[in-house]
Amino acid sequence: MSNSSNVDQKSNITLTMENYSACYEGYMTPWATIFAMFTLYSIALMWFCRYGKKACLPAPDSIYPYRRRLKYLKQVLNHLLIDDIFIELTDSKLGQGAVGFVFKGYVFPKTQTRFKQKTFAAVKMSYPMPQKSLGLLEEAARMSKLNHPNIVRLIAVSKLSFTAFRPMFAMEWLPGGSLAEFFRDEIRRKDELERKPVYVKDIVNILFQVGEALKYIHESRDHEGNEFTHSDVACRNILLTNRNLETCVAKLGDFGLPIDFGPRLPIPWLPPEIVCSLDRSPKHRPESDSWMFGVLCWECATLGAEPHFQRTFDEIQQSFLLPDRGLSYPPHCPADYWSFIMDCLSEQHRRPRFSGAIDSPYSAIFRLQKLQTMFAHSTAKFTMVWNVSNCTCMQHRCNVPLPSFAIR
């Protein structure tokens, strides 16, 4: 009996020692506790240093419907993303379009002497509206995929475009300004004796460069295999390297998307298949760019006149039925040049195309090459046409105010 009790006592002692050992092994010494807390604190500090700035940014308004598209656009533009401190805006406003403002600015490289190596740039910033912001990012994505000597190059995109949903990107700076600015500053705002002569051969050379850019765009495809178009071919979007039309290089810029921008749509430049079916959300196709190119040619022949100046929407639609499509024959305009304009303003299937072979009379590049040869040694000049109002109401297109917003 005593032997069994001794055995029980020994087993109890063994169990007690095992429990004590297990408890001792699970116990952390003060130094181990300090080390664990220090490790957790270091990990939290490293996370905050890396992601803290993003965490402190205000939540973008109405960003939820665009999350999936923004994720794709960020992947496309990832190689151009830089911190916003490397893009600087000035007070010099260059203009504004359907989706945002354009300012003169600078882009700084990531070096110690970055302030000595700044690069001039045209910086575009969107209006503080979600749809406009998305439109500007779409424009940047389109520009990032295009590489041609006659297309404005995209330099950088601010990271704030996606963290704060206030897109801003920088494009190469062209000191000559736009072709519309050239006509305004060098022709229309000067006395007749001070105006620079504008030769047909120089205008045709600029149009040929724009045609080369459109050919490249129309022959390109996006990631889904869809065709590219420009959608806003006009003098205001033709940028020049200098103000000498004989030697300058012309580049096509402003790849804005004409989607639901109301009064900001370039109605006087758009073809009838779009203007007459805006309620059905028509798609802009390459032949639509051909029509707009014809209107661009007319702008050049009039030295910067505005097509359908102060006509109402209904008047513009009615003018499409006229033989000249509402764009009157400019004085001293060569017949072959005018014939090319009328071909661009014809029915969709009859318009010259920029894509494809250039040895066909249906090719716009072929027609432009013929005009280049024809006027290579000509002294023919274009003369200015003053705009004449045909408006019949108080709310014509050029007086439609911009939507109200404040620059933040």
Q: Is the pLDDT of residue 138 over 90?
A: no
pLDDT given at position 231: 85
Distance CA 306, CA 387 (A): 7
Top pLDDT among 406 and 215 is at 215
The verdict on residue 114 lying in a domain is yes
First-to-final CA distance of the chain:
93
188 & 282 share domain: yes
- CA distance readout (Å), 72 to 69, 84, 134, 393: 5, 21, 12, 45
Q: Please identify, among 139, 172, 205, the residue that sits at the C-terminal boundary of a domain.
A: 172
Question: Beta strands 100-107 and 119-126: pairing type?
Answer: antiparallel
195 & 319 share domain: yes
pLDDT band at 110 (very low <50, low <70, confident <90, very high): low
pLDDT given at position 58: 47
202 & 114 share domain: no
pTM of the predicted protein model? 0.77
Whole-number average pLDDT of the chain:
81
168 & 183 share domain: no
The verdict on residue 14 lying in a domain is no
pLDDT given at position 113: 52
133 & 204 share domain: no
Distance CA 133, CA 141 (A): 13
Distance CA 294, CA 367 (A): 12
The verdict on residue 388 lying in a domain is yes
308: which residues sit within 8 A by CB, 6+ positions away? 267, 268, 315, 316, 319, 326, 327, 390, 397
Top pLDDT among 216 and 109 is at 216
Q: Please identify, among 144, 172, 200, the residue that sits at the C-terminal boundary of a domain.
A: 172
Most confident among 2-16, 113-127, 291-305 (mean pLDDT):
291-305
Top pLDDT among 369 and 223 is at 369
Distance CA 73, CA 79 (A): 11
237 & 129 share domain: no
Distance CA 155, CA 174 (A): 13
245: which residues sit within 8 A by CB, 6+ positions away? 182, 198, 199, 202, 203, 205, 206
Of 109-118, 135-144, 299-308, 371-380, minimum mean pLDDT range: 109-118
Top pLDDT among 55 and 234 is at 234
Helical spans, DSSP H, in 302-379: 313-319, 335-344, 364-375
Q: Is the pLDDT of residue 116 over 90?
A: no
The verdict on residue 22 lying in a domain is no
The verdict on residue 48 lying in a domain is no
230 contacts 370 by C-beta, under 8 angstroms:
no
Query: What tokens were used for 401?
Result: 């105010």
Of 33-42, 48-57, 192-201, minimum mean pLDDT range: 48-57
Distance CA 209, CA 220 (A): 17
236 & 371 share domain: yes
Q: Helices then strands (H, E): number in the chain? A: 12, 8
229 & 280 share domain: yes
pLDDT band at 5 (very low <50, low <70, confident <90, very high): low
Residue-range definition of the domain harbouring residue 68 = 64-172
200 & 167 share domain: no
88-104 per-position pLDDT tens digit: 888 888 877 777 788 88
243 & 364 share domain: yes
Top pLDDT among 28 and 206 is at 206
Q: Is the pLDDT of residue 221 over 90?
A: no
Q: Is the pLDDT of residue 258 over 60?
A: no
166 & 206 share domain: no
Average pLDDT over every residue of 21-36? 63
The verdict on residue 377 lying in a domain is yes
The verdict on residue 272 lying in a domain is yes
Q: Which is nearest to 299 in space by CA: 180, 176, 151?
A: 180
Most confident among 29-43, 182-196, 200-214 (mean pLDDT):
200-214
Q: What is the CATH number of the domain that holds 156?
A: 3.30.200.20
Domain count, the chain: 2
pLDDT band at 22 (very low <50, low <70, confident <90, very high): very low
Top pLDDT among 324 and 117 is at 324
pLDDT band at 407 (very low <50, low <70, confident <90, very high): very low
- Return the C-alpha torsion angle 224, 230, 232, 234, nearest 10: 180
359-400 per-position pLDDT tens digit: 888 999 999 999 999 999 999 999 999 886 554 444 444 443
237: which residues sit within 8 A by CB, 6+ positions away? 178, 252, 253, 254
357 & 292 share domain: yes
